Structure 1
Amino acid sequence: MKHRKFYLSLIFAAAIAFVSCGEKETTAPTETAEPGAPAAPPTPIDQATVATLTGKVSFEGAKPRLSRLMMDQDPVCVQKHSGPVLAEDGAVNDNGTLPNAFVYVKSGAEKYTFAVPSTPAELDQDGCVYRPHVLGVQVGQTLQIMTKDPTTHNIHPMPKNNREWNISQAPNAAPLEQKFSREEIMIPVKCNQHPWMKAYIGVTKNPFFAVTSSDGTFTIKGLPPGDYTIEAWTATFGTQEQKVTVGAKESKTMDFKFKSS
């Protein structure tokens, strides 16, 4: 009887060991290159015929009241500012124009293939605030993240169509470099160490995008003649679309006006 119990215990232990060896450690998914044909070469575009689109983005209605960024949890952040810092989402200039709107060619450029820029797009951290607040990159373009702050940050984009990543960056650390492999408008970015930090990244397949400057204006250059749908995105007031046809060497103006709901 004792021998029978001993052999049964050996069989049971062996079974558990077999199951344990079959288990695999799970890790967060990583983005890999999609199989298929090599990337097509850039489509030749006659630069003598390209068009330019300029305009402004504005808001009509009562201006939202901007909240104060509460940085008290990290004295280092407070010390880098001479006074209160206000949130940038919903900011409206006195003349009604909107900074930080992302304007891009939503459709019409699909027949073209574009080279990936060799120059990185840059996202800086200064005073525990992301700079710029809104930026654009092309698919496959390097995004370089830097810091000027004497405190640790945690850069955490939260995409829906791209790989999510979450990386700490210590003071005086070397710039971080990342890429996005899929088009996505927009990707919010936060910092897990400083919850008030916020930025937005627009990832496009074409180079035809712009972020409105402090006066609410934008310029998109190099458009081949054709028909396009242009979208203006804002963090607070939503999006708007307009269609436009540009001819060879033509300069056109397109304005967007958002209204309070």
Structure 2
Amino acid sequence: MKKTVFPAFLVAVLAAMPLSGLLAYDGGAVSDGGSVSGVVKFKGAAPAPKKLEITKDKEVCAKSGKTDPSLIVSGGNLVNAVVTITDINKGKKMEPQKVKLDQNGCEYKPHVLAMAAGSSVDILNPDGILHNVHSYSKANSPFNMAQPKFKKTITVKVDKPEVINLKCDVHGWMNAWLFVAANPYFSVTDNSGGFKLTDVPAGTYNVEVWHETLGKASQKVTVKAKADTKVSFEMGK
């Protein structure tokens, strides 16, 4: 029997891709769907907020105090984690979105923005000063664009699933994440660490949490028709 041998670089690329990025997704109507909801807890003592040093354009950027958004804990729960189902290939319709990322006050808002693959992002500059939006993407084409004060909006499209880090080359403390999902089952934890995934077909799935500082955690979750399944995660350093 003849064996098929794949080039080493191709094996490495496939191994590095998230499972959800390898599955073709079939979207449509879901009848009797259930949901998955819960919280992502932080393990250990919550770190004290770290103040960011504002070094440029202080008349605009230093109007309000800023803290490092990379690890926010509220009431013992983790804010800005992304919860997804990684191994689902059929479910509710996936529709590309048009979402907004603001730079008001030299700060990306929201800090973590999740969307379906194929979505467009309007990057806003209401500050009246120069920003420069630099993406560190691999699956999608990277971009590095100056956004002067007269250019109020830059629109970019993200077609492929991946997690993209954004930075401003003018203001080094500015940092954000675009989580581009392979299916419509994603949720960013809110200010209480909560999340909810809706219209999930009955079945058993791998539910995964991603966080920019703490990495990933996952567990198998069984969803029943017309029922809400409660799930709790705990992540820490």
Q: Name the TM-score, length of structure 2 as normaliser.
A: 0.83
**Matched AA of 2:216:** T
- In 2, the alpha carbon distance for the partners of 1:125 and 1:73 equals 15
Gaps of 5+ in 1: 1-39
Q: Is the 8 A contact 2:92 2:184 kept in 1?
A: no
Residue of structure 1 equivalent to 2:81: 101
Query: Equivalent residues in 2 for 1:56-205 (5 A)?
Result: 56-81=39-64, 84-93=65-74, 95-107=75-87, 109-111=88-90, 114-117=93-96, 119-184=97-162, 186-205=163-182
- CA shift at 1:222, angstroms? 1.7
Percent identity (aligned)? 33
Residues 194-250 of structure 1, C-alpha deviation per residue, up to 9 Å, x if partnerless? 010001111112111011111111111121222211111112222100111212111
Distance in 2 of aligned mates of 1:111 and 1:58? 29
Which amino acid is the alignment partner of residue 49 of structure 2? Answer: L
Q: Residue 91 and residue 121 in structure 1: after superposition, are their counterparts in 2 closer, same or farther (change >3 A)?
A: same
What residue is the counterpart of 2:201 in the other structure?
224
Instruction: For residue 41 of structure 1, report the CA deviation from its aligned partner.
Output: 10
Q: How far did 1:113 drift?
A: 8.1
Taking a change above 3 Å as real, the CA distance of residues 172 and 58 of structure 1, as seen in their structure-2 partners, is: farther
SS in 1 for 2:38: strand
- Over residues 26-59 of structure 1, what are the superposed CA-to-partner deviations in whole Å (9 max), with x where a residue is unaligned? xxxxxxxxxxxxxx9963323x411111111111
Q: What is the distance in 2 between the residues matched to 1:241 and 1:44?
A: 26
Q: Distance in 2 between matches of 1:58 and 1:41?
A: 30
Matched residues in 2 for 1:177 and 1:59: separation? 35
Residue-pair matches, total: 214
Provide the residue aligned with 1:35 in structure 2.
none
Q: Which moved more, 1:232-241 or 1:167-176?
A: 167-176
What CA deviation, in whole Å up to 9, does each residue of 1:104-156 have, x standing for no partner? 1111x224584433x40111111100000001111111111112212111111
The two structures have a TM-score, normalised by structure 1, of 0.76
State the shift of 1:80 in Å.
2.9
Residues 223 and 128 of structure 1: CA distance in aligned 2, closer, same or farther (over 3 Å): same
The residue matched to 2:59 in structure 1 has which SS? helix
| Pair member with larger Rg | 1
Structural mapping, 1:200-211, within 5 Å: 200-211=177-188
Q: Which has the higher strand share?
A: 2
Aligned equivalents of 1:231, 1:212: Cα separation in 2: 12
CA distance in 1, matches of 2:54, 2:44: 30
In the alignment, the residues of structure 2 paired with residue 221 and residue 113 of structure 1 have an alpha-carbon distance, to the nearest angstrom, of 9
1:42 and 1:121 map into 2 onto residues whose CA distance is: 23
The question of whether the paired residues in 2 share the 8 Å contact of 1:41 and 1:113 is answered with no
Contact 1:76 1:151 in 2 (8 A): no
Give the alignment of 1:21-40 within 5 angstroms.
Answer: none
- C-alpha distance in 1, partners of 2:45/2:25? 49
Correspondence 1:43 to 2:27: yes
